[in-house]
Structure 1
Amino acid sequence: MQSSAPRHIPLLLGLDFSSAPSKRKPITMASGHLRGQVLVLQGERSFVSLGDLGEFLTQTGEWLCACDFPFGLPRELVLALGWPRQWPALMAHYAALSRAEIRAQFAAFCAPRPVGAKFAHRACDGPAGASPSMKWVNPPVAYMLHAGVPLLLEAGAHLPGLHDGDRRRVALEGYPGLLARELIQRRSYKSDDRSKQTEERLIARKDLIEALEQGRSRLGLRLKLSHAQRDALVDDASGDRLDAVLCLMQAAWASQREGYGLPAEIDPLEGWIVSA
């Protein structure tokens, strides 16, 4: 179920997501627009609740957003648990579970499996270097899926390869780590732990931002920042602002490509990470 990218996208968005947002750790969104191969960062905003984000997505007319949370579950896991094999029914079933129920069922799946192969993976995890979408700790992406996908569906979003919705509101699964690793390899550039917000991570953020501005990634885009925007990205030791911008870069790349740059065939339960 692929679709061509629309000719005109008035608002490009990148979303650094949290399944439990708060004033201390809000959801962060970056917005921008393309001028040729230059992505201009327009601004960033924060949401301290899932409801606030949902309201924004529903009330904003047209957008293309790359979201830093998974849109699907590993097919192996779904089949093993006997869950629905069609994505809409699967997501409805998943959304109806509590987090405790999700954790219990996933832990029971993992328990008999050998060390090093506890989790089931999606086909996109390897190419993207992403955590399995069933992981409930460090990071709790299973809960992010549980919290995030219903917001997209409530907003009527179109999820290429998974769900046919309003083509004026397109949601793609992004992953900032994919782009960051291309530019600064395995260097860590962020931490929520103040004791780990080191000079090395500060330098890594500066190097990553410089690489984005110079257009050194395979996305072929250059990021344009004001001095104030650059300083804000450097100073945010949590990396949330920078992760939102990395997702924004992936959204911009997708907006220029047929079918948003996604593979011609995507597992309709698992989805795909854009630019992987």
Structure 2
Amino acid sequence: MRMPTRILLGCDFSSAPTKRKNIVVAVGARQAEDAVRLSALHRFSSLDDWSAWLAAQSAWVGGFDLPFGLPRELVETLHWPGQWAALMAHYGQLERSEIRRQFSGFCASRPAGGKFAHRATDGPAGSSPSMKWVNPPVAWMLHAGVPRLLAIGAHFPAHQPIPERTPPRIALEAYPGLLARQLIGRTSYKSDEAGRQTIERRQAREQMLTALLEGRTELGLKLDIDTAQANALVEDGSGDALDAVLCLVQAAWALRHQDTPGPGYGLPPDIDPVEGWILCAKRP
């Protein structure tokens, strides 16, 4: 049976999307060896619409800006299941109030400056701990996103055994902040507050886009877009569309490295499946 044409996805995720704050999915495809073409941007104001759209796409490799795993230290302390699939089933059925209660209890017994447990990937990626439930609420993103991806049959290479045949839908954990820092350092380029969407942040988005078009990242990929798409990315002061595109570029890099040893897709061969790994983060 011939595999359907595999598209690339980059997803800027929200655990509680609305008409004002959408989930944004960038759709594209690789061009030759060193370029990725952006074909469309889709916006979703509900989790159900997002997951239904993903399920309707026959085959994809997607980079999703949400955590797929939890720190092993946290999991073992709470005596939660030690296998990823069972852990996600357990986590997904918990109410958020109960998750907050257990996470708060874990943090309360730890010293100031070390309240949260971290995954091994957090340091290299510069990401927030996946157990954090505020600023940003990535624990809720995991709670909302992973069960829905599992329900539509997505395969998680960083967490699941390597199958005999490549599954049609491949879900990879991406982080736009990792790529953004390669482009403009720690300069701020976005805000959800209209009053903070300044000319300086707009200029930062222009700078990022120019660097992406020229392929000035460690990934060795150039972004191919048209003028209307470029304008849309620059004018989106929230940065959501640009973040989705950054995840798309990371997914393109992963597809380019799908045959690397271990789980493939450029992931390290010895990662902890409970914790997972963020695309393009270098193991120290």
Q: CA deviation at 1:114?
A: 1.2
- 2:15 corresponds in structure 1 to 19
Superposition TM-score, scaled by structure 1 size: 0.95
Aligned to 1:254: 254
* Residue matched to 1:270: 275
Mapping of residues 66-85 of structure 1, within 5 Å: 66-85=63-82
- 2:24 is aligned, of 25, 28, 38, to 28
Equivalent position SS for 2:167: strand
**How many residues align structurally?**
270
AA aligned opposite 1:208:
M
Identical counterparts, % of pairs: 59
Match of 1:3 in 2: none
Q: Quick check: 1:9–1:255 contact (8 Å CA) kept in 2?
A: no
1:191-215 deviation line (CA, Å, top 9, x unaligned):
0011211111111100001100000
Q: Using the TM superposition, name which of 132-141 and 157-166 deviates more.
A: 157-166
Residue 242 of structure 2 corresponds to 242
2:141 pairs with one of 121, 141, 144: 144
Pair 1:163-2:164 in alignment: no
- 2:265 is paired with a residue whose SS is helix
- Shift of the alpha carbon at 1:161? 2.7
Q: In 2, Cα distance between the equivalents of 1:198 and 1:121?
A: 33
Cα deviation, 1:172-193, whole Å, max 9, x if unaligned, reads 0000000000110000100001
Per the TM alignment, residue 9 of structure 1 is displaced from its structure 2 partner at its CA by: 5.4
In the aligned structure 2, how far is the partner of 1:44 from the partner of 1:205? Answer: 17
The equivalences for 1:1-276 within 5 A come to 10-36=6-32, 37-164=34-161, 167-257=167-257, 258=259, 259-276=264-281
DSSP-derived class of the 2:48 partner: helix
Question: SS where residue 260 of structure 1 aligns?
Answer: coil
Deviations 1:49-105 (A, max 9, x none): 111111112221000000000000000000010101011110011001111111111
Distance 2:51 2:233 in 1: 25
Cα separation, 2, equivalents of 1:137 and 1:49: 21
Flag structure 1 segments of 5+ consecutive residues without an equivalent: 1-6
Aligned counterparts of 2:254 and 2:227: Cα–Cα separation in 1: 27
In 2: Cα distance, 1:107 partner to 1:17 partner = 24
**Post-superposition offset of 1:10:** 2.2
For 2:142, the aligned partner's letter is: L
CA distance in 1, matches of 2:225, 2:231: 9
Structure 2-normalised TM-score? Answer: 0.93
